[in-house]
Structure 1
């Protein structure tokens, strides 16, 4: 197997190379003076299983080179071309809220489905979609972060109380709480704008003597978590731990969060908050999909 890492986390790529017994694909990239991309594959791809690690947390900067690379690998005779993207972009716009809006999750899915044989990701933002199969016309595997987060909590937090900041987080919080053997609460959120959010108070009787642990799938602006953390502080609870599957941290979100909580994320998006490893389950998913692809290439 050849593993190409055009734009992503070198540490995760090194782990995957070792776990998959893969060779690092040799790739040359640069930009022409007019801003267009140059790409050349130096590895011999003929009859090779090729997989690309490409974190799509800044998709508009990466997607063209990703598609160019996938097409080049096929043109050079690759046996299969797969994609590992721990953060799958363009999942949040899953409905047309206003006339004429682009439901961007759909055309983005068509782009990737046409370029790859299979896809591996971690906890995509499935809100109105029940599974990736509703969007993507290719084999896919979703690695669940809940067992990894639960193990991290069990090993490091003696008496946790898991808290979800809103109803959308309940699926993550309840699953993690069950696996960690810990109680949980889900608060109510009212969003009046991108930066105007109010959160209900937790049940303080249940919280007594416990460390609050906020769990959410995506930390972007951080406003929902910040509002929740302020409530916890006002209620006199101990310093909280805020855990995100995907730490996007727009603007100064990370600095503001670390003022009031210990912030931890999975290694889905490279960041200094990464403490929860994802390489082993990603490698397992790749092996499963490759086996299925070779059994039925259609």
Structure 2
């Protein structure tokens, strides 16, 4: 049975524009005003984080919007301390809406005497009092098993499929979806299936961590419009190199669709100067001014799908229905028009 209380959103400092956009979308769906809960999330002079909630949240269904992006440790601590504040204020349920889940790349032991930081972060969240997690495109599916609470992992692929069908209308038969490595084949195949495109793989060989020694294209990309698909882009070195290799193998043009635009260090400059016609990212991580000003970087919104997912969780209805591209079409109507 649906709960009688209204869903309430509260946000940390990691991505306030996205949190406000979610609230606006929820207001549209509910036909009533949904505002972020009034609170302050501040730092003392020594860097300690302090949270104070100014509204009564006793018995409320609370959703904390806080990606754990850069600075990952500060944003993670904000999330944990906000959770503790809400729990001690007698909130009925606390759901963490984490559009980008930091530490996701540390999901296994790659060599001796290394941590599994994703599991540690999951333990910290559960220990703080989080009762459910809503996220998007986890780096590895097994991270869901690190939690002893429900985890809803949304996918950017249905949103990307809508954008691709709009941008490449009339040319979808020329599109090839490319995985930048063997590990991402399942993700690329899923998107290719959604748009009816072909599939190719860039197989990369490393001699040492962080350095790509060589790349080989598996599949025919001659005269094809290639779309590189991945869950995140950090320094963009591998992405830019993959685009160059595709062009050398006869691709007519190269675009990239990346869920999480980490884009640290020289990433924006590399992308701006690359052979890629465009890089499409979502707003799960708040874009910097450099990202917003880059001529070949475009940002697609995730607020519509997150807002609907929050309402579905609150209502006790299906979240997996949002994995369907057709289900998202009404939510994104007019979003991808120039």
Would the TM-score normalized by the shorter structure come out above 0.5?
yes
Which structure 2 residues correspond to residues 1-298 of structure 1 after superposition, within 5 A?
Answer: 1-21=7-27, 22-58=34-70, 59-114=72-127, 115-126=129-140, 129=142, 132=144, 134-157=145-168, 158=171, 159-197=174-212, 198-203=214-219, 206-260=220-274, 261=276, 262-271=278-287, 272=292, 273-292=297-316
Q: Give the match's secondary structure for 1:189.
A: strand
CA contact (8 A) 1:163 1:173 kept: yes
CA contact (8 A) 2:200 2:221 kept: no
Report the CA distance between 1:258 and its aligned residue.
2.5
**CA deviation map 1:13-42 (0-9, x unaligned):** 122112334321111232222222222111
**Residue segments in structure 1 that go unaligned for 5+ positions in a row:** 294-298
Partner Cα distance (2:78, 2:43) in 1: 11
- The change in CA–CA distance for 1:125 and 1:48 in structure 2 (over 3 A counts) is same
CA contact (8 A) 2:203 2:218 kept: no
Alignment coverage as a number of residue pairs? 288
Report the CA distance between 1:214 and its aligned residue.
0.8
CA contact (8 A) 1:6 1:27 kept: no
Partner Cα distance (2:240, 2:148) in 1: 38
CA contact (8 A) 2:223 2:250 kept: no
Partner Cα distance (1:224, 1:236) in 2: 19
Q: Give the match's secondary structure for 1:24.
A: coil
Q: TM-score, normalised by structure 2?
A: 0.80
Partner Cα distance (2:87, 2:210) in 1: 44
**CA deviation map 1:227-252 (0-9, x unaligned):** 21121232343331111111111211
- The change in CA–CA distance for 1:55 and 1:267 in structure 2 (over 3 A counts) is same
User: Which shows bigger deviation, 229-238 or 44-53?
Assistant: 229-238
Partner Cα distance (1:151, 1:234) in 2: 29
**Residue segments in structure 2 that go unaligned for 5+ positions in a row:** 1-6, 28-33, 318-338
CA contact (8 A) 1:199 1:228 kept: yes
Moved over 6 A (4+): none
CA contact (8 A) 1:165 1:216 kept: yes
Aligned to 1:296: none
Partner Cα distance (1:268, 1:37) in 2: 23
Q: CA RMSD in A?
A: 1.9
Partner Cα distance (1:53, 1:143) in 2: 15
**CA deviation map 1:64-115 (0-9, x unaligned):** 2211111111111212111111111122112223332111111111111232
Partner Cα distance (1:207, 1:121) in 2: 33
Q: Give the match's secondary structure for 1:124.
A: coil
Partner Cα distance (2:94, 2:42) in 1: 22
Partner Cα distance (1:275, 1:77) in 2: 38
Partner Cα distance (1:45, 1:137) in 2: 25
Q: TM-score, normalised by structure 1?
A: 0.90
